[in-house]
């Protein structure tokens, strides 16, 4: 192909020279031809890509097609039920609800109801009239040790940091939360001014202790207290892990550390910002309980919780044992499923690390109930929650309320361009590029966030009413049925049989499926 390129180039140049000699007006061809030949020669002799060296100029076409491949598939190839991680139907329902457009469907479902994994709600003959349903149900978060419990919506904004999302996106989310009466989780990037514009805030504290750290990366209790007492901060969440990359930690390169980010996170500019894979403020479940008591005291009695993607079951059981032993309880557990998303994560972590949400929620509920402490602790489910049905599914497995990250991003205008990690998000959501950010107008998008949340809660309430249920607390595992194979179905109560309350307190009553993990779990060690 290299020789062919040279022959074709020489031939075209010769022909153009002859045509120009006959009539000078043909010289404009050289303006096109010469740059193309130069690019081809560069490909042959200077490119570090084999395809371009072997197929000069023509090889560039491969990289162009690869670059625009996602867009081509999304707009011209994908069906309504294809597209990852969210298909077109899932994205469209968010767009319609955020704009308060008609979200009804004509002519029946497009889903294969006999396909393995298909799920449905078991509605009731004694359904509740929609007019009698609680249209904005609240869930009280706060154990017996919490003096400032919080009444939360059943659908809220999940953890997304300033820096991962743009300033305008954070502003829109916070204003949307304020308008709709639900909370906004800060993510582990610290408590920024854009989180404090009026919306209720859950302050997420990760392993880097951003906004409450010393410059060496250790926890600073004075900086914590100063911010935890702010009126907007309603709850504190200790982050252990997230679904997209549990146990990985992270690094924000020094080139991305602006003066603003350094000030918010309490770090020195000019250095990489490291989020370690584990906490330094505590190293055992018992020390975690001391840390929980410290945060509760310094926050003035606000709910203290933890966010975790379940990995080794024995570690969560060890935390439960520590709570029982010390009689100190977290107020909530945010369960992030392995299908959770992030701006950037190694593919193997996204694909193969972390327990999926359904299994994780059921396990956490059963573990807390087995130790007799579920009545003290609320469970928050997070991971691909974008519809009312998603909420009901998680409630049926044991969650009390739900968070959504990518659903809220869709409400902001995200088109699933999959460029979150490149700083090139075309919708201005996941970028720090000022030119791209400018297109996201917080005043407009905050309204869409509010509408999406309200319409999704309404959908969940309507579904509960159809099942004869008045409040989220009454959604049980027999409300949902899933298809195991083409000829077999089971309720969640059959697939995930519940543990007897208190059965994990003594070895002789521990169910066999828990026994191995129960035995190796100790409060003195993770």
All domains of the chain in start order, with CATH: 2-77 (no CATH), 151-249+278-520 (3.20.20.70)
Q: What is the pLDDT confidence band of residue 163, given thresholds at 50, 70 and 90? A: confident
Could you give the 3-state DSSP secondary structure of residue 62?
helix
Say what the pLDDT of residue 156 is.
Answer: 98
Cis peptide upstream of residue 85 (ω within 30 degrees of 0): yes
Say what the pLDDT of residue 214 is.
Answer: 93
Q: Note whether 223 and 211 are within 8 A (CB).
A: yes
Task: Choose the weakest-confidence range: 4-13, 298-307, 321-330.
Answer: 4-13
Say what the pLDDT of residue 84 is.
Answer: 79
DSSP state, 522? Answer: B
Distance CA 253, CA 235 (A): 29
Say what the pLDDT of residue 279 is.
Answer: 95
Q: What is the pLDDT confidence band of residue 25, given thresholds at 50, 70 and 90? A: confident
Alpha-carbon radius of gyration of the chain: 27
| Between 289 and 430, residue with greater pLDDT | 289
Evaluate if residue 424 carries a pLDDT over 90.
Answer: no
Q: What is the pLDDT confidence band of residue 431, given thresholds at 50, 70 and 90? A: confident
Could you give the 3-state DSSP secondary structure of residue 429?
coil
Say what the pLDDT of residue 28 is.
Answer: 82
Evaluate if residue 67 carries a pLDDT over 80.
Answer: no
Evaluate if residue 346 carries a pLDDT over 90.
Answer: no
Q: Note whether 407 and 455 are within 8 A (CB).
A: no
Provide the mean pLDDT of the chain: 91
Residues in the chain: 526
Evaluate if residue 161 carries a pLDDT over 80.
Answer: yes
Evaluate if residue 344 carries a pLDDT over 90.
Answer: no
**Which H helix or E strand runs over 375?**
none
Evaluate if residue 75 carries a pLDDT over 70.
Answer: no
CA 518 to chain centre: 30
Per-residue model confidence as pLDDT tens digits over 146-159: 999 999 999 999 99
| Between 378 and 346, residue with greater pLDDT | 378
Evaluate if residue 492 carries a pLDDT over 70.
Answer: yes
Tokens of 324: 């029982």
Say what the pLDDT of residue 268 is.
Answer: 86
Distance CA 391, CA 401 (A): 7
Q: Note whether 326 and 273 are within 8 A (CB).
A: no
| Between 435 and 370, residue with greater pLDDT | 370
Q: What is the pLDDT confidence band of residue 259, given thresholds at 50, 70 and 90? A: confident
**Which H helix or E strand runs over 238?**
strand 233-239
Q: Up-side HSE of residue 363: CA atoms within 13 Å toward CB?
A: 24
Per-residue model confidence as pLDDT tens digits over 196-219: 999 999 999 999 999 999 988 999
Per-residue model confidence as pLDDT tens digits over 306-325: 999 999 999 999 999 999 99
Evaluate if residue 341 carries a pLDDT over 80.
Answer: no
Evaluate if residue 411 carries a pLDDT over 90.
Answer: yes
> Quick one: average pLDDT of 507-520?
96
> Quick one: average pLDDT of 78-105?
85
Could you give the 3-state DSSP secondary structure of residue 185?
strand
List, in sequence order, every residue forming a beta bridge with 271; answer none if it has no partner.
Answer: none
Q: Are strands 401-404 and 155-157 parallel, antiparallel or unpaired?
A: parallel
Q: What is the pLDDT confidence band of residue 71, given thresholds at 50, 70 and 90? A: low
Task: Choose the weakest-confidence range: 132-141, 203-212, 342-351, 494-503.
Answer: 342-351
Q: Are strands 200-205 and 488-491 parallel, antiparallel or unpaired?
A: unpaired
Q: Note whether 295 and 304 are within 8 A (CB).
A: yes
Of 526, 524, 523, the residue nearest 277 (C-alpha) = 526
Tokens of 408: 């809220």
Evaluate if residue 454 carries a pLDDT over 90.
Answer: yes
Say what the pLDDT of residue 418 is.
Answer: 83
């Amino acid at each position: 192909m290299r020789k062919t390129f040279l022959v074709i180039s020489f031939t075209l140049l010769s022909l153009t020279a002859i045509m120009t000699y006959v009539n000078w007006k043909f010289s404009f061809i050289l303006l096109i031809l010469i740059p193309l030949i130069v690019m081809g020669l560069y490909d042959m002799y200077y490119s570090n890509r084999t395809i371009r060296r072997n197929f000069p100029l023509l090889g560039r076409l491969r990289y162009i097609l690869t670059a625009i491949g996602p867009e081509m598939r999304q707009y011209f190839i994908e069906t309504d039920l294809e597209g990852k991680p969210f298909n077109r139907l899932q994205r469209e329902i968010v767009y319609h609800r955020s704009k308060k457009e008609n979200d009804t469907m004509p002519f029946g479902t497009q889903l294969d109801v006999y396909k393995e994994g298909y799920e449905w709600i078991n509605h009731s003959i004694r359904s509740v009239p929609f007019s009698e349903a609680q249209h904005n149900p609240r869930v009280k978060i706060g154990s017996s040790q919490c003096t400032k419990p919080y009444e939360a919506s059943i659908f809220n904004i999940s953890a997304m940091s300033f820096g991962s999302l743009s300033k305008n996106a954070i502003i829109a989310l916070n204003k949307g939360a304020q308008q709709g009466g639900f909370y906004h989780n800060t993510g582990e990037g610290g408590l920024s001014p854009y989180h404090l514009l009026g919306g209720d805030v859950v302050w997420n504290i990760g392993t880097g202790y951003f906004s409450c750290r010393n410059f060496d990366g250790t926890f600073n209790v004075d900086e914590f207290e100063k911010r935890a007492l702010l009126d907007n901060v309603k709850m504190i969440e200790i982050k252990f892990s997230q679904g997209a990359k549990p146990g990985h930690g992270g690094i924000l390169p020094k080139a991305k550390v602006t003066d603003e980010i350094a000030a918010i996170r309490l770090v020195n500019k000019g250095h990489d910002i490291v989020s370690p894979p584990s906490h330094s403020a505590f190293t055992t479940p018992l020390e975690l309980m001391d840390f929980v008591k410290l945060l509760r005291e310094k926050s003035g009695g606000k709910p203290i919780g933890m966010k975790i993607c379940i990995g080794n079951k024995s570690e969560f059981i060890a935390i439960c044992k520590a709570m029982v032993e010390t009689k100190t309880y977290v107020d909530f557990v945010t369960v992030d499923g392995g299908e959770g998303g992030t701006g950037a994560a190694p593919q193997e972590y996204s694909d193969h690390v972390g327990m999926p949400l359904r299994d994780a929620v059921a396990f956490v509920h059963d573990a807390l109930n087995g130790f007799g402490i579920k009545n003290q602790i609320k469970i928050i489910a997070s991971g691909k929650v974008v519809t009312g049905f998603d909420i009901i599914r998680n409630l049926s497995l044991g969650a009390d309320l739900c968070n959504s990250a990518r659903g809220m991003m869709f409400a902001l205008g995200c088109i699933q361009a999959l460029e979150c990690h490149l700083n090139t998000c075309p919708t201005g959501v996941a970028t720090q590029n000022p030119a791209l950010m400018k297109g996201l107008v917080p005043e407009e998008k905050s309204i869409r966030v509010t509408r999406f949340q309200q319409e999704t809660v309404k959908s969940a309430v309507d579904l509960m009413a159809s099942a004869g249920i008045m409040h989220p607390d009454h959604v049980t595992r027999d409300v949902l049925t899933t298809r195991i194979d083409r000829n077999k179905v089971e309720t969640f109560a059959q697939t995930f049989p519940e543990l007897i309350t208190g059965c994990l307190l003594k070895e002789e009553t521990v169910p066999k499926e828990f026994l191995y993990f129960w035995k190796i779990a100790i409060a003195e060690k993770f």
